[in-house]
Structure 1
């Protein structure tokens, strides 16, 4: 059965906030992620031929069903709903339901009190992705853009457009909101045209997905992870005086918490103005979140980004292959991949190491790959949160196409995910007295 999701948003407006009073992770200032245009003189000499966007979903509820800490009993209510209309095509005949059905998460029957399901995008997340769609439209639709106009575009043509996401509602919804905002025809009706051909949205079973590092698809990840956790660098850091004291301070104010979910629990509370447990002042909040952020970044950067490169090789190769195809006038012009923090963070680490991966990526962040051409050559520009990143060996506004091929060369190593023949490194003891850190971090954030 083919299910066609449609978004219905009720009262999804977000009031003005002072962005500086929130962690950057909350993405309260979406204007800061506008896409920086090329210098006019450079732009006049080039034609933009392809854009690939990797975007994180918008703000959401906590992703794990594990209690954040003793006493956590927050209510989460969501106004983003899905309308579904099952359809089947068989024997050259199409049967479609005559009605649309609204999926309703019944109050009282979910992990959290309220109407949100686990990890659901909240109303603010919808607003964040509308901003993203507007910024993409401003950057890539117009006289010198990738598209001169949105009128007449055939979004069902997968040779020209390719939309994908993990098979999780918050990424699917995020991507669709962006596409609908960015590529809305100038004469579009506000009502749904039932006769219009559905736009293909590509996804797959999460168990076999490579949109985030997946040990099931890349066996070497478990080996690299064990090597990192047994390394003197990691063990000494975990057992440092600062982290030992932080663990004591945390235990004084929290009980029954888990390091694998602590960052998410703290941030989903802070970003939505929910009260934190008594005793968590600004200093302790900063130290707690900095520690969890550092653990995740360390894993991705360990041993010259070995975990990140192996875990993101298959995904990176698709970006590379599409760029190569476009350089030969064969690839789609626009690709949108709606994904997770655990997509963009290892991708930054794999491509740019510690120069690129410096933070836990905020909600609705994006990594963009632009491909340009002139009469003789192709050029690339890579942007994170709308700002250009420096490519190795290149100091100009746009870099030779070979720079991208060099950055992504690890992805064509067919042995990159093969586990070594020697035994997996034995874990050395590292103090984690009140919880665990997932053996292979694959947080669906």
Structure 2
């Protein structure tokens, strides 16, 4: 027993050397069980980020960057013509291989491709979700006899990008292991769309108001004060001494993909400079989402949140899939957190393989909702416990039902309309957020940097459920 304790302690110390972003401890994502016994779980909607990956940009991270990335996740493809006019011709399976030496990155990986660690992260996610939702008190008593091709009962979707598609499929295979005769069944539907028209992230192509809000944010006093702060100016000077030809658009990703996989950083990047740099980039992204009471996040994710809302409403009428999986991105989960919970929920750049879960429960008289991030319940306005009246969920997501939310204002002099404070974010909390993100740089501490200091205490949540729920 002592040996096991020592091994566990050593593993914890090893994980503490990595930013929380790397998701080295997937047990932190396990779903907290609901202690109520007088309600029945009737629907689960999971939004999950893809697993660990290679850098996403083709731009060189910095002068001299030439890291080799090799990936062992291969895709098997079988193109078939499905038509009422022609008989189905079964194709042989083909393996898609990125040829070494022919890619932007050295090695066998494509840009942004999920690496082996990402595969293992998602298998653990799948195991945790199976533990939470398959069993005597789960959404499913067992997985025997389930028909995953029935889109009235199951709905799987992702952006049309390999790392999200792979992540989602890996999770589904873990939750619902293949039976002996599954090979003879029809293919499981997987839904996606053109990325240029996708609503899985804030998309100015489909929501023109986003560009207007972004421009207003970049001209705001808060943003200009933060950008020109002495701490940020000093950080820029310190970076330029040791890193050449970098871009702020890719700096966070370049640093994190290197740090999470034990690759080299530029000479001169010590822990302090790494922390200040990643904190600055985290702060930039979070500020955009939280600006003016989360206007950008609420407008940009309204269509996506409305789909979650409508599925939940349909579930109360027994007219929706019981289980929905949406495999997406950090730029999905972060604005959803910001849109629904403001600074109380969005406190970090979300890690690889992180997830949000929306659960719907019922008893003989009413319906309830529980919302979780990384398996822990989030505090919803109007709720005194982790299990919230369905009316509180409807109030929280009401903004998303506004079909005109993306319309440009009629006056060019208009300011972005502040969202109602239904998320519980007061003006004082908004001010605190700006002080926090600026102060984080001043203090030289990265937002959510080390796994041992994720700041989870700052995120409002619950650990117990009153009996009356």
2:317 counterpart residue number = 328
Give 5+ residue unaligned stretches, structure 1: 1-15, 427-445
Superposition TM-score, scaled by structure 2 size: 0.84
- The correspondence for 2:32, drawn from 20, 33, 36, is 36
Q: Does 1:262 align with 2:258?
A: no
CA RMSD of aligned residues (A): 1.6
1:52 counterpart residue number = 45
Superposition TM-score, scaled by structure 1 size: 0.89
- The correspondence for 2:145, drawn from 146, 149, 152, is 152
Q: Does 1:142 align with 2:135?
A: yes
> Cα deviations across residues 32-54 of structure 1 (Å, max 9, x unaligned)?
11000011xx1x10000000000
Change (3 A) 1:425 1:114: farther
Distance in 2, Cα, partners of 1:404 & 1:311: 19
Give the 5 Å matches for 1:41-440: 42=36, 44-185=37-178, 188-189=179-180, 193=183, 195-423=184-412
2:464 counterpart residue number = none
1:26 counterpart residue number = 22
Change (3 A) 1:133 1:244: same
2:467 counterpart residue number = none
Q: Structure 1 stretches (4+) deviating beyond 2 angstroms?
A: 90-98, 421-426
Change (3 A) 1:425 1:65: farther
Distance in 1, Cα, partners of 2:52 & 2:159: 16
Deviation at 1:19, TM superposition (A): 1.3
Larger fraction in helix:
2
Change (3 A) 1:345 1:208: same
Distance in 1, Cα, partners of 2:51 & 2:24: 11
Contact (CA 8 Å) 2:368, 2:388: kept in 1 or not? yes
Deviation at 1:92, TM superposition (A): 4.4
Contact (CA 8 Å) 1:227, 1:425: kept in 2 or not? no
Contact (CA 8 Å) 2:299, 2:405: kept in 1 or not? yes
SS at match of 2:124: helix
SS at match of 2:81: strand
Report the count of equivalent residues. Answer: 405
> Cα deviations across residues 334-366 of structure 1 (Å, max 9, x unaligned)?
000000000000000000000000000000000
